[in-house]
A and B are shown apart, each in its own frame.
Chain A
Amino acid sequence: MSGAAGHAIHAPRATSGGIVPRRVPRFVQPAWRNLLVGLLVPCALLTVWAAAGALDRLPALILPAPGAVLIALRDIIQSGDLGSALAISFLRLAEGFGLGALAGLAVGATMGLSRLGERIIRPTLMGFVQIPVLAWVPLLMIPFGIGETLKCISIGIAAFAPVAMNSFKGLRQVDPKLMEVGTLYRFSAAQRLRHILLPGALPSIFTGLRLGLTQAWQSLVVVELVASTNGIGYLAVMARQMFQLDQMLAVMLVIGVCGFALDKSLRSAEARLGRRFGGVAR
């Protein structure tokens, strides 16, 4: 629809009389219009905020001027604090998520592939997920203190449940017709796993991984606030201790952007995976 020329699209031209070609400006396109309307409220708020700041009507204790927030953001970028904090946090996320996802896949697969495994594990798993990750943190802090182990395990626990549940469901919900085909072709268990179960369960598994990563990210933020030694949560805690609202808002902005990026990239990966493996089980 939108041409490579970018700025305008041309309605179809008719060779005989009748349709007059129109140049429709791109920004009137529905998608663009929606974007602009969507930006109205934040722009209005931003303007009011900036004006209040300029007119000195903002109590700095409630809301610093938007310029101050940007300056604070620039400061933590330039000092390298933000970079190192994000590096630490993302590494932690990767480690914790990796741990939890692996465990979740193992447990989910055991439950999904073995009825006996399901009977043994499922009730305990159901009970386990009733305990929120938050409730685990004080317990884990006693033996593990506030170091990396605590954070890794907490994040792992958060990722574990969605991955386990979704892997289990995915394996169980593979289309029985496909299973019949496997029986017809006298597939061995390994072949059945490779050609039918895994591809069939993959979308569900991936959803579990996506949900697990979301949970892991949320838990990362909490753990870094509670047991605060380094990372992005630490920057927020420091801003709170020093009552530096501009830095606080800058950090929250960064957290929002990171969360959005994580979620978006995973959703698009999931969509691509769904297209590749077809609409099975989801």
Chain B
Amino acid sequence: MDKSVSPSRARTWLAKAALAIACAVPLCLGVAAPAWAATPKVIRIGIATAGVGGKPYCGLSYICAAHVQGLFEKEFAADGTKIEWHFYTGAGPAVNEALAGGQLDFAWEGDLPAIVARAIGLKTHLLMASGGRLDYYIAVPADSPAKSLADLRGKTLALFKGTNIQTVGTRILESEGLKTTDLNVVNLDLATSVAALVSHQIDATLLSFWGFGLRDQGKIRFIYSTADHSPRLTAEAALLVTDAFRAQYPDAVQRFVNVSLQAAHWSSEEENRQALEAIFAKTGYPLRFFQDAYAGHPLKLQADPHFDPFVTQQYKDVAAIALRLGLIRREVDVDSWIDQGPLQHALAAQKLEHYWPLYADDGKTVVGE
């Protein structure tokens, strides 16, 4: 038998080998693909607020600082991941709609809308707190005779329902022994409620820094401030991630949290106060508002990302209030909702475990270091 291979048989063998390789390559690529697909093509971030007139800026969270400084864009540039920012004047409820439609991966929204989202079955996890310990005020027109909350019995109070404004409003009323039924509570968004207040169409509204301008012009007066009372009355906000995104891109989530933590650290350093104010000014509100809002506070407080006992208890409180008021139909388990993993990981990596104090339930006493 001739041991040499005939040319035609060699060609056939070569062809088969080529075919085999041609088939194997896509297979290998396919196996390797999940590793490549570990970075998403786009990251969509939803923010439950917007600047004046709907400007695509927010001012009060380190997430906003990260937005202006393009930190996420820089972090994910090498992977070719696009970062999409969405700002919602409709606040939390509008963010929830987007989340429900699968249009967002990360969201920054207040406690009440986040709880509502969880109660209706939106699958998310809380990653980092970002409430900022903002103070709220009950404002009345300058010529109103009301001196305290009790004077508002039977009067019209505007609250932006479905947002954490409603949380604060409910807490304030109940702390003064009033029920929401003692007043005529109407639902208005932030801009409309201020306009309605000035034109005497409503008697009072709950607001924060966006009312400073009118207060300084003497058109409205504050008759109540949470700054004079317990921090338990303020509202929280947090960064959350959809479970779908979290399951598919855990690395991206960790990196996102890393960058957010960097921004939080940066926002807490006193030497950056002026730069922080400039970022706030991009929303269209005068930076004087920011200064007034945080005049007496250490910057660290507003950028505190911890889910310490205080913040956790605040969320549980809101869940209870929401259930009691019939805003949600099911109980929400807050403990299983918070995912401390990425945050703790980032804290350790950036050696910031002891940078921010942890607060106990009352929001004042420090736990641990």
Contacts and interface: CB of A to CB of B under 8 A. Distances in A.
From A59, A228, A230, name the one whose CB has the most chain B CB atoms within 10 angstroms.
Answer: A228
A16 B123 CA distance: 79
Contacts of B188: 146, 229
A15 interface: no
Given A145-B196, A228-B187, A241-B93, A61 B121 contact: yes
A73 to B, nearest CB: 15
A197 B238 CA distance: 70
Given A61-B100, A61-B122, A145-B196, A242 B116 contact: yes
A228 B327 CA distance: 18
Nearest to A228: B187
Given A61-B120, A61-B121, A145-B201, A240 B196 contact: no
A237 interface: yes
A32 interface: no
B45 interface: no
A198 interface: no
A243 B187 CA distance: 15
The size bracket of the interface on A is 10 to 19
Contacts of B117: 243
B116 A243 contact: yes
A175 to B, nearest CB: 51
A60 interface: yes
B144 interface: no
B100 A146 contact: no
Given A145-B201, A146-B188, A234-B187, A242 B327 contact: yes
B192 A146 contact: yes
A60 B187 contact: no
B161 interface: yes
Interface in A193-230: 228-230
A238 interface: yes
A147 interface: yes
A238 B185 CA distance: 13
- Is the contact region of chain A dominated by helix, strand, or loop, or is it mixed? loop
A229 B186 contact: yes
Contacts of A229: 186-188
Nearest to B192: A146
A67 to B, nearest CB: 14
Interface in B139-165: 161-162
A173 to B, nearest CB: 45
Nearest to A149: B201
A146 B196 contact: yes
B201 A147 contact: yes
Contacts of A241: 93, 161-162, 187
Contacts of A240: 93
Contact of A238 (B187, B195, B328): B187
Interface in A212-271: 228-230, 234, 237-238, 240-244
Contacts of B186: 229-230
Contacts of B93: 240-243
Nearest to B101: A61
B89 interface: no
Contacts of B116: 242-243
A145 B186 CA distance: 13
Given A243-B93, A243-B120, 19 more contacts: A61-B100, A61-B120, A61-B122, A145-B196, A146-B188, A146-B192, A146-B196, A146-B201, A228-B187, A229-B188, A234-B187, A237-B187, A238-B187, A241-B161, A241-B187, A242-B93, A242-B161, A242-B162, A243-B100
Interface of B: 93, 96-97, 100, 116-117, 120-122, 161-162, 186-188, 192, 195-196, 199, 201, 327-328
5 contacts: A61-B121, A147-B201, A228-B187, A240-B93, A241-B162
